[in-house]
Chains A and B, each alone.
Chain A
Amino acid sequence: MAEVRLENVAKAFGSLTVIPDLSLHVPDKSFTVLVGPSGCGKSTLLRLIAGLERPTRGTVRIGGEDVTTKEPSKRGISMVFQSYALYPHMSVARNIDFGLRITGVSKEEREARVAEAARILALEDHLDRKPSELSGGQRQRVAIGRSIVRNPKVFLFDEPLSNLDAALRTQMRVELAELHHSIDSTMIYVTHDQVEAMTLADQIVVMNKGRVEQIGSPMDLYDRPASVFVAGFIGSPKMNLISGKRFGNPEAETVGVRPEDMELTEGQGYEATARVVETLGSDTIAHVRVDELGDLTVRLPGHMRLRDGERLRVTPNPDRLHYFDADDRRMETARA
């Protein structure tokens, strides 16, 4: 049992309050992703769970136990850092078994655990190398291996893929998902990349200015964003957010429609001009200027050919509109 609970946790650095008051439940064996823009407090939250920072107020529980004042090494967690934090003077094997060595684990057990981690992460051929002799992806695997051998109750990841190129990031994303399936532990993962959040998470926690904006499954957040912030943050390209008045719905302050919920129509719909057309192969993203509504983004099938400056008509799918009130919160009842 390794659920993580934060109860009314606050964190301030001097006069700067990063997390005013936050409660969160991370279920056992879940892959929970903390996502939000830079400076929203997600890394601070992870460090509070790790014990690298002490909360100004509130309680942190791991597996039901209050660990608020416990040292990081006594919490049953392990952490993978953005920079990997590998020791440059140690070989891969010694990096992986460092924690076991200094805590007095026997040589036989250390070797067995390192061999198992190396097998899972395909590092068997690199155990004698130094980190400087490895690629970015291999270094990331070593950092994960260092976590695995400690058999932690909770794995913490602080933007672990940020330093990798796009192709490697995609590959490592898949490997992390496989790792979660194979070791079946609780994982808490911080990222500012909503694609990583959507693809990896069982549960996403969207954070903004030290507060939780919404917690839910990826598709929950995508289909029913609780606020304008979540609507704009989750999804790529971003949801189109239109003034309710301009959209003809005075009840709602803002009306949202995802780019894929807009379609090109003939003879009816809003008149628009294609400003820029991005052809991605699988999709075509058209940035259009709608005469009545302003600038919008429309996702079209990949084979669709449009020219910059072309006149067209767009129609939002009325069943897929999202309505938000003056406080930017979701409205369930507003209908045009």
Chain B
Amino acid sequence: MSESTMPPPDRRPGPAERLREAVSNGRLTAALILLPPALVLFTLFVILPLGESGWYAFYDWNGYGTPEDFVGLQNFEQMFGHSVFSVAVGNTVKILVISLVVQMPLALLLALLVYRQTPTNAVFRLIFFVPYIMAEVAAGLIWSFVFDGNYGVTASIATTLGIDKFFILADRDLAFYAIMVVIVWKYFGFHMMIYIAALQGVPDDQIEAARIEGASRTQIVRHVQIPYIRPAIAVSAFFAIIGALQVFDIIIPLTNGGPSNQTHTIVTYLYEFGLTRLRIGFGSAVGVVLFIVAVLVAVFYQRLFMRKAAS
């Protein structure tokens, strides 16, 4: 047999060969039938609005009629020069940090306490998960009552302790900390569930082997369980980061961005200074910046951390 007729041992199929294979095994037909509806919907409701938003960002437009007043990069210049935008970015970063530093460890701690399948743990899991399944607006309203200095829980505390009434949500320095408490309370259950699912996958005999070798409870968590659930922690952190960039509907019922615009996040800033003031072009510019940041974070995080964790 001549050398030319011998196929190389690790030869990969070429495009034409792959197409022939897809036709013969029905994958091409399946793709032609199933792909167009999803593609059309995705294009109509995601790609086109994104493209339009990018286009509006270069116009001074109030949302009525056709955008005609082309302003170039003026919306972006205004945004980056606006002090409230800096506050909003700072607040978004604070939420990001608090999610990673407080919310995730708290969720992990609680997950370690309740991950084993017992009836008591099931009750606690449900209790811890309730805030997450509650609508954001409802949660915001509940907490606005808690923080209400006249009639809420804080009013009762002030009366009981015999101190002056205090209005946390009206305090420029404290309001955002109160919001961060609500955010941690609202979303820790979600991260806890991710960890619970992962912890239940850690083989019992690995934990028992560590016990036999003399590992304490803390050492088992540190050396056996956390390394084992590292991919789940990476996913959880990814959701925490993306979630921090999107915080909106907790803040509106609590402070609506106040007092003195001190509790805005990027999204509430977009809503307040773009949509409610009918400056759709400006809002679009904020949206474009937010989208680019989110995509960059997602891509870099996936490449840097999630693959590493999975390996």
Q: Which residues of A contact B (CB under 8 A)?
A: 50-52, 71-73, 77-79, 81-83, 85-90, 98-99, 102-103, 146, 150
Contact = CB atoms under 8 A, between A and B. Distances in A.
The 4 closest A-B pairs by CB, nearest first: A99-B213, A73-B214, A85-B209, A85-B205
B213 A85 contact: no
A212 B134 CA distance: 57
A89 B211 contact: no
B227 A87 contact: yes
A81 B205 contact: yes
A103 B216 CA distance: 10
Given A85-B209, A88-B228, A98-B215, 17 more contacts: A72-B211, A72-B212, A73-B212, A77-B212, A78-B212, A79-B212, A81-B209, A83-B203, A86-B206, A87-B206, A87-B223, A87-B224, A89-B228, A98-B213, A102-B214, A146-B213, A150-B213
A106 B208 CA distance: 24
Interface string B175-218: 00000000000000000000000000001011011111111100
B211 A71 contact: yes
18 contacts: A52-B211, A72-B212, A73-B211, A73-B215, A77-B212, A79-B208, A83-B203, A85-B209, A87-B206, A87-B223, A87-B227, A98-B213, A98-B223, A99-B215, A102-B215, A102-B216, A102-B219, A146-B209
Which interface residue of B203, B213, B219 has the most chain A CB atoms within 10 A? B213
- Size class of the B contact interface (CB-based, 8 Å): 10 to 19
A99 B228 contact: no
A307 B209 CA distance: 53
B209 to A, nearest CB: 4
A94 to B, nearest CB: 10
B94 interface: no
Contacts of A73: 211-215
Contacts of B224: 87
Contacts of A87: 206, 223-224, 227-228
A52 B204 CA distance: 11
A102 B219 CA distance: 8
A90 B227 CA distance: 9
Contacts of B219: 102
Contacts of A81: 205, 208-209
A108 B228 CA distance: 28
Contacts of B213: 73, 78, 98-99, 102-103, 146, 150
Nearest to A89: B227
A85 B203 contact: yes
A252 B243 CA distance: 78
Given A83-B203, A89-B228, A102 B223 contact: yes
Contacts of A86: 206
Contacts of B223: 87, 98, 102
